[in-house]
Amino acid sequence: MAKHSIDRSLQISGKIIVATQHYPPDSSTTATILSEIACWLALKHKVTVLSGTPDPLQPLDPGSNKPVVITIKNRMAAKEALVGRAIAEMLFALRTFLALIKHLQRGDVVLTVTAPFMLPYAVAVAAWLKGARSALIMHDLFPDVLVMAGLLKSRSPAAIVIRAANSLMFYAVSAVVTIGRDAERPLMRYRGIRQSKIRFIPNWATLTPSLRPVNAENRYRRTLPGRFVVGLSGNLGFTHDPEIVFEAANLLKHQADIHFLLSGWGLGFERLRRLQAEANLPNVTFVERVDDAQLEEFLAAADIWVIPYRGNVAGVSVPSRFYNLLAVGRPVVLVSEAEAEAALTVAENKLGWVVAPGQPDELAGAIRAAFRSDDKSMPERAVQVAAKFSRNTAMQSYVELMEELLRGPELVGRP
């Protein structure tokens, strides 16, 4: 009996390597997610993090159950410098490949994400060469993201090359973690993917799910003239459509009770600031990027939040900020196709409104509907749904997947 009661994880000799460009003290969503996964895995296994963030956080006690962090030289180019950014990301992927060749051993597992987009290819090749196993967290699907953003044509030589590289990569990786149900269909188009390789592990709310009532004395709200506040926050990148929010605000500029509160970063927010500098809409207020310590109060400042995606987002990208908006008890207006993961969650649980991409008049109409809505139970439903996307549930799923890969003599789902 005692022999059978031994923790199965003690029979595992291999280690886990997490390869990521972003890691704390970087405050990005990717850094937060990967650090939480790494720290959770380190409670039971030996974990090493290959980080592209300068001066990453290290455990105070080398013997503690914390991941060991190794810094990889990395130059972060400005997002608008596309050529410089591409070169920097290729160099980072190459340096990560060399680090993996040095640190990986047969039977190890390496976990990575899809940003920067060259990183998964480097990880898959290094793991294959070293007889290790690899798992990829699919935050964005390339080249689909670039096509959606208008940076590539679907049938361009570059897109064709990326898809060919994807087929080889998906053949080589042991498992692909999707964070949205809608990601499975585009993945299954690749010959290297089998159903057994795909694991659905949604992201989670980093804030504790609990209804935060609207408070007129909230520091971000008390100076705003409108009594109904529409919020927009976070990173607005290639997959987002900032113009639709600005055009909706313009359509609602004579509705004195509705005001827009905007705070974030990325190319989209730079575009919004330029538009506002030209138009000077009276119903739009910008605040500087809010740090993690004030995030809860900031998210509680709005009555409803907008997540604006471009067309063809289904299966390509999932808004990680979505779960925190629900966690504070706020409905959302999602600009997205109806079959996208977040849109499915909104519709299934009656958490807000889904608007077709590229239709600012529909977005303005949804905001008016939210302003007039008498559904007082929507905030409570949002909190209840956020509680289902718990950190503990996601972490346990990652532990189970990593242990399966560490134990398995063969690569999981290998065709």
Residue 73 lies in a domain: yes
Residue 33 lies in a domain: yes
Give the pLDDT score at 6: 39
**Are 25 and 164 found together in one domain?**
yes
**Are 44 and 164 found together in one domain?**
yes
Q: In the structure encoding, which two tokens stand for residue 295, read together? A: 């995030």
**Are 200 and 263 found together in one domain?**
no
Residue 46 lies in a domain: yes
Residue 192 lies in a domain: yes
Q: In the structure encoding, which two tokens stand for residue 58, read together? A: 């290290």
**Are 144 and 255 found together in one domain?**
no
**Are 166 and 279 found together in one domain?**
no
**Are 192 and 56 found together in one domain?**
yes
How far apart CA 388 and CA 345 sit, in angstroms, is 11
**Are 381 and 402 found together in one domain?**
no
Domain count for the chain, please give it: 2
Residue 170 lies in a domain: yes
The CATH number covering residue 383 comes to: 3.40.50.2000
Residue 367 lies in a domain: yes
Picking from 51, 39, 30, the residue whose alpha carbon sits closest to that of residue 95 is 51
**Are 383 and 394 found together in one domain?**
no
Non-local (6+) Cβ contacts of 375 within 8 A are 350
**Are 33 and 148 found together in one domain?**
yes
Domain residues for the domain of 169 are 8-204+390-407
**Are 44 and 188 found together in one domain?**
yes
Reduce the secondary structure of 214-264 to three states and give it as a string. CCCCCCCCCCCCCCEEEEEEEECCCCECHHHHHHHHHHCCCCCCEEEEEEE
Strand partners, 335: 308, 355
Residue 414 lies in a domain: no
Residue 328 lies in a domain: yes
Q: Are strands 16-20 and 47-51 parallel, antiparallel or unpaired?
A: parallel
**Are 394 and 333 found together in one domain?**
no
**Are 182 and 254 found together in one domain?**
no
Verdict on whether the full-model pTM lies above 0.95: no
Per residue of the chain (415 residues), give pLDDT as tens: 334 333 444 456 789 999 999 999 887 888 889 999 999 999 999 999 999 988 766 554 555 678 999 999 887 655 555 677 778 889 999 999 999 999 999 999 999 999 888 999 999 999 999 999 999 999 888 888 888 878 889 899 999 999 999 999 999 999 999 988 888 889 999 988 988 899 999 989 889 999 999 998 999 999 998 799 999 998 888 889 999 999 999 999 999 999 999 998 888 999 999 999 999 999 999 999 888 889 999 999 999 999 999 888 777 777 778 999 999 999 999 999 999 889 999 999 999 999 999 999 999 999 999 999 989 899 999 999 999 988 899 999 999 999 999 987 444 444 4
